[in-house]
Structure 1
Amino acid sequence: MKGFKDFIMRGNVIDLAVGVVIGSAFTALVTAFVDNLIQPIINAAGGPQNLGLGFLLRDGNPATFVNIGAIISAIITFLITAAVVYFVFVMPMTKARIMARRRRGLPDEEEDAAPEDVVLLTEIRDLLAQRGQTGTTGVATERL
């Protein structure tokens, strides 16, 4: 039971739970905005029919209506949600990490070390270039 309590009381789990709740509420807000404001505008572009932007696969059967307006609305909902997540959560967290690294005296971005084979090939290239300049091999070498 202690392990479960430690898991639940971890900061990451609580932050995740708060994020899920806020995300759900925000999704409901964006969905209401798109369904009640954007969707009617998209449906108006579909013409005078009462079904909205789309087409019927079989005339007279509304169950075969392909609702293109709903797809466009879903894309708009996704883009609005992604933009808000980026500008409200991702961008400030990135700036906070950069500022924390600067306060600790570390560079802004950690440079990835080159793979060992790339380092070895670079050394070989440099040695070949050096030999080509000094003429120790007696054979002209191309610069790689």
Structure 2
Amino acid sequence: MNTAATTTTDDHADSHDHEHHDPRLAHHFDSHQQQFDTGKLGIWLFLVTEVLFFSGLFGFYAVYRSLHPEVFLYASQFLDTVLGAANTVVLLFSSLTMAWGVRCAQLGQTRGLMVCLVVTLACAAIFLGVKSFEYTEKA
């Protein structure tokens, strides 16, 4: 058997030794710095796509609103600011509880994770309840 092949095979086996693997380092990264840099790049790419998407969305809204102000004036009569504000608070709170749930999962806190998931699901039910009330009221 070739010595180079034996060495390569042995090195490969050692590189996948899971007993000495840092649990905070994902298996497909070589170092914590590489993992951090990749995550940072991913966040920046996500933010760029969000800025592009919402720039187009708000740009379209501004153009359409300036071309047809009467449509927006008419439609505003059917909006309920109290229910809209309540739904906004529910959505923000559910985002917070979901983020807490992710953190609890990262820390291995099963009870905290379950509480956060139940609260997030309750927020979803409240949101859908408010929406169904809004739409049945307008039908």
- By the TM > 0.5 criterion, same fold? no
Query: Which structure has the larger Rg?
Result: 1
TM-score between both structures, scaled by the size of structure 1: 0.29
Structure (1/2) with the larger strand percentage: 1
Structure (1/2) with the larger helix percentage: 2
TM-score between both structures, scaled by the size of structure 2: 0.30
